[in-house]
Amino acid sequence: MGKDFEATAARLRDAYSGAVIAPLRDVLEPNDTDGAYAVQAINTRYWQAAGRRIVGRKVGLTAKAVQQQLGVDQPDFGVLFEDMQVADGGVIPSRRLIQPKAEAEVALILGSDLAGPDITRADIEAAVAEVAAAIEIVDSRIADWKISFADTVADNGSSAMFALSKTRKPLAELDLWTCGMALEVNGALVSLGAGCACLGHPLNAAAWLAQTLAARGEPLRAGDIILTGALGPMAPIQPGDSVRATIGGLGSVSFAYGKAGA
């Protein structure tokens, strides 16, 4: 099966060119957690060897409705590489994305390491140096987003790019439970949400991530970025779109999705 995982990882890497692939049912059962993370890890090591630098992790599937849709009872995670970040107000070339969707999130930037077996929410609070509004641009190498839990995990959590707000705030100044979220595309409101929609609280998502990674021997480190998960439904985007997210207490973050062919 290991050889199948290597070939599956290569299939996913090749699909970044835009030639999407069928769901990975020939290798991964829909809820094959261990196999899916094994494929993700193969590609993570491949990309690190190619010179890409890890700057954090993203948490996905934090909404109960999405978990139910995929038949799971837990979130998932993917790796954030430095070259996945677009500046606040920047432009993403259309060729970088295949079938993208945008979602607004709370981003945590760590000031200290999170290692050890029993990481609590209080540990997360103590470790967070600053908080930013974020837009995650998710994408899928699987045709038409026909994904299972295993598909999205193997595909690095269906990740693509992310933007963080220039404005950063200390955690103590924020209410991340009741904070509202508004996501706009070309000035039109496309998604509404709140902090409590993210696994009950964005810090809960961060604690799950820290515990999960520590158990895998891959603890979060000072300076790491954590995208804690969507605060509301994701919205598809098209070349030429301008996207802005505003989160209560954190302000706004935006990017433009380059015109077709750009």
Q: Contact, 215 vs 205, CB < 8 A? A: no
- Angle at the Cα of 79 from the Cα atoms of 74 and 81, rounded to 5 degrees: 160
Residues 6+ apart with CB under 8 A from 198: 62, 63, 105, 106, 204, 205, 228, 229, 230, 231
83-111 burial, b at 16+ Cβ within 10 Å, e below that, comes to ebbbebeeebebebbbbbbbbbbbbbbbe
pLDDT digits (tens, 9 = 90+) for 132-184: 999 999 999 999 999 999 999 999 999 999 999 999 999 999 999 999 999 99
Token pair recorded at residue 184: 């706009």
Average pLDDT over every residue of 3-31: 94
pLDDT above 50 (res 61): yes
Token pair recorded at residue 189: 């409101």
The mean pLDDT of the chain is 94
pLDDT digits (tens, 9 = 90+) for 88-132: 999 999 999 999 999 999 999 999 999 887 899 999 999 999 999
Average pLDDT over every residue of 197-222: 95
Kindly list the structural domains of the chain, giving each domain's residue range(s) and its CATH number in brackets, ordered by start.
2-257 (3.90.850.10)
Quick one: pLDDT band at residue 237, thresholds 50, 70, 90? very high
How many angstroms separate the CA atoms of 226 and 143, rounded?
Answer: 27
